Each structure stands twice: as structure tokens, then as C-alpha cells.
């Protein structure tokens, strides 16, 4: 009995991608199905970077196709293709930036900047072109976390070149002022400076730009949410009730301006004693899960309170770079894949497909 394309499609419909929770057919990942007698060839094109698990996903597809009766040689080609997705209407897009992900928190001290830089590095490790913008004008931390010093170059005196570290592009007000210089600015000045950093930086072919937002939900955050073309947002919190109260406010702020919530990252979820190995929920338990359930959003991942995360970030080599094969780096990569896969399911940006209309007097 000959194998048909329908047999292949029906088989792949029963196989769920663990990163998207959708089957490979409905997600339109399965393409170019070719059948030659009993031999089958199929391309799997993922909408998110997944370099560290491509072999695993390929084996998953091959094993599923092997269950088709009478199948011969199986060829599975797998890779990623990252495309732009839509942002808020009426907000000008950033040249050479496909997608912008805002990382926010309702309050400070929950590990937002550490989470943001590790997600950026994890996306790069998974095969994407990534940049990070430190939007905390008052307290920039990314220069230290990335181990970058010096000033950015400007070829034309107007635009600035992004700094480079660990394979990602970076920009921060911290590159332009002395470490000890306080930014004694009012809200409009901060917003203006941030827009300049975002739009005057010559980003180079980015799949994702991670914006490490300042904590809070005040005028600055709201203005940024309305002027920066954000594809989706991540909320970082701890399980502590006080942190969750503020995290909920941050989530509602993004909802009000029409920015999709990609998910929640629960930081410092447990503490494991470095001496005896005892695990304890010192900030409470289940808070992130409860918040996700209340607002129907995904829990992207939970990270432990671990001294290494802090030491490595303070030292300029965050965990994903310092210990790429560690369990914690694995969690960051899983969060990055989940974030990118959630983003890949959002509406596409078709603005580049529309022609420019020029009216001339004839």
C-alpha cells in the first residue's frame, strides 16, 4: 500500500512540539513533504530558535514517522526561521529589528535585569541574533552584567554603534556616562533619552531586541509602552505576595496598551542550601502559578535563589555564559525557547509587504 502525503500529515498531527504545545501541522512547521515510493522527506521549520534541542526534535519526528506502515527511508530536515511579528498600532518600527521583547517587573529587587540578560544570552545560544537595551536610565546595570567598559563609536556623529559582548549587541546609558554620575532627570527627559538610545543605535539584523525596563508602572513605563514597538512582554516576579501584587499591576499595564504577555518568570522560587542541600520556599510557594492561572498566561519557568547566579552576573559573565551546561543555564534556555515560541504564534507583521505610495504632481 502506497504512502500518501495525507498519511504523513495525519501522523504529524498527533505529534506535539514540546516548546509550542501544538502539533507540527497546525503550527505550519511541517513543510515540503516529498514522497518517493515508500521513502518520505519532510522539512520542519520552527518559528523560534532551538539550536540545543534540534537533534532531539528531529529524532522525535523521525520516530513518529517510523510508525507509518510500510515506510522506507525517512529524511527530516529541521531548522528555524524567525520572522517579524506585529507590535502596537501606530508605533514606528525600529530598522533592522524584527521583534522587541520587554522584560518588566512591578517592583525592584526581583532579579529582572539578571533574568533579562540571561534570556538574551540564551536566545543567542539557541541561534538567534540578539540585542539588549538597558532601559533603566536611573540605575543601568547591563554594562556590569555583560562585562562591557568603554564608550560606543559613532561613524557619522549622529548614530551610535552597539557594544558587543558574548555574541550579543548591547546599548545602555551606562556606556555614555561615568559610573558615579547620577541621572537627576525628570520623566520626559528620561523618555527622550531612552528613545534616542533605541532609535539612534545602529542595530544589526536583530531577530530579538530585549528591553530591560526599569521597575514600576509609572509615567515612564506607560510612555515607553506607547512609543516603543513592543511585540510582547515578560513579567518577572518572586513568589512573595508583595512582589506578586506589583507584578499584577505591571501585567495590567501592558494589557491596557495592547501588548501581549508572553508569560511570567518566577525568580527565587526556592532556596537550596549550599551546605546541606535542604530546599526551602523562603519567599512562599505557588505564587507565580496562581498569578498565571488568574490571568490565563503561561509560567515560562521558575529559577532558584542561587548565589552563583548573582556572582556570575556581578562578574560580567552571566550563568548562560559561565556555566552553559548547568541546570540553571538549561532553565534559562527553556525560558528563552518558550518565550520565542509564544511570540512565534502571535500575528505577523506585514508592513514590509505594503508598497510605499508616492503622490506626485504630473
Eight-class DSSP state of 357: P
Q: What are phi and psi of 75, to 5 degrees?
A: -125, 120
| Residue appearing with cell numbers 495592547 | 258
Cell reading at 143 = 554594562
How far apart CA 114 and CA 128 sit, in angstroms, is 19
Q: The C-alpha cell of 222 is what?
A: 506607560
User: Where are any strands of DSSP class E within the chain?
Assistant: 16-17, 22-23, 30-36, 39-46, 74-80, 97-104, 130-134, 163-165, 168-172, 206-212, 232-237, 261-266, 271-272, 279-280, 299-302
Spatial separation of the C-alpha atoms in residues 155 and 140, rounded to whole Å: 24
User: Phi and psi at residue 23, in whole multiples of 5°?
Assistant: -75, 165
Which residues participate in the annotated binding site? Answer: 106-113
Binding-site members for ATP are 106-113
DSSP collapsed to 3 states, 201-228 = ECCCCEEEEEEECCCCCCHHHHHHHHHC
Q: What is the distance between the terminal CA atoms of the chain, rounded to a whole angstrom?
A: 67
Q: What is the DSSP letter of 348?
A: B
CA angle 45, 46, 48 (to 5 degrees): 150
Amino acid at each position: 500500500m502506497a504512502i500518501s502525503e495525507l498519511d504523513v500529515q495525519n501522523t504529524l498531527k498527533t505529534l506535539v512540539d514540546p516548546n509550542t504545545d501544538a502539533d507540527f501541522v497546525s503550527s505550519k512547521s511541517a513543510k515540503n513533504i516529498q514522497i518517493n515510493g515508500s521513502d518520505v522527506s519532510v522539512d520542519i521549520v520552527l518559528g523560534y530558535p532551538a539550536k540545543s534541542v534540534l537533534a532531539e526534535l528531529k529524532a522525535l519526528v523521525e520516530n513518529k514517522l517510523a510508525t507509518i506502515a510500510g515506510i522506507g527511508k525517512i529524511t527530516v530536515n529541521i531548522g528555524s526561521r524567525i520572522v517579524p511579528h506585529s507590535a502596537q498600532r501606530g508605533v514606528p518600527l525600529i530598522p533592522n529589528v524584527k521583534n522587541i521583547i520587554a522584560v518588566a517587573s512591578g517592583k525592584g529587587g526581583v532579579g529582572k535585569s539578571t533574568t533579562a540578560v540571561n534570556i538574551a544570552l540564551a536566545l543567542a545560544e539557541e541561534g538567534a541574533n540578539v540585542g539588549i537595551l538597558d532601559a533603566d536610565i536611573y540605575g543601568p546595570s547591563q554594562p556590569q552584567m555583560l562585562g562591557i567598559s568603554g564608550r560606543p563609536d559613532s561613524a557619522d556623529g549622529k548614530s551610535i554603534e552597539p557594544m558587543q559582548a558574548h555574541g550579543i549587541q548591547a546599548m545602555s546609558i551606562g556606556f555614555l556616562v561615568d559610573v558615579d554620575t547620577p541621572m537627576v532627570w525628570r520623566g520626559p527627559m528620561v523618555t527622550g533619552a531612552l528613545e534616542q538610545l533605541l532609535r539612534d543605535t545602529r542595530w544589526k539584523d536583530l531577530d530579538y531586541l530585549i528591553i530591560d525596563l526599569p521597575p514600576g508602572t509609572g509615567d515612564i513605563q506607560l510612555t515607553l509602552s506607547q512609543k516603543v514597538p513592543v511585540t510582547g512582554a515578560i513579567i518577572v516576579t518572586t513568589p512573595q505576595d508583595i512582589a506578586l501584587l506589583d507584578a499584577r499591576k505591571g501585567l495590567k499595564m501592558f494589557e491596557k496598551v495592547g501588548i501581549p504577555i508572553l508569560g511570567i518568570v518566577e525568580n527565587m522560587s526556592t532556596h537550596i542550601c549550599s551546605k546541606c542541600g535542604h530546599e526551602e520556599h523562603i519567599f512562599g510557594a505557588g505564587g507565580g502559578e496562581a498569578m498565571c492561572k488568574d490571568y490565563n498566561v503561561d509560567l515560562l519557568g521558575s529559577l532558584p535563589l542561587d548565589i552563583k547566579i548573582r556572582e556570575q552576573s556581578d562578574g560580567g559573565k552571566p550563568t548562560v555564559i559561565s556555566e552553559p551546561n548547568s541546570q540553571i543555564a538549561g532553565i534559562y534556555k527553556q525560558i528563552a525557547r518558550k518565550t520565542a515560541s509564544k511570540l512565534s504564534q502571535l500575528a505577523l507583521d506585514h508592513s514590509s509587504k505594503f508598497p510605499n505610495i508616492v503622490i506626485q504632481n504630473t
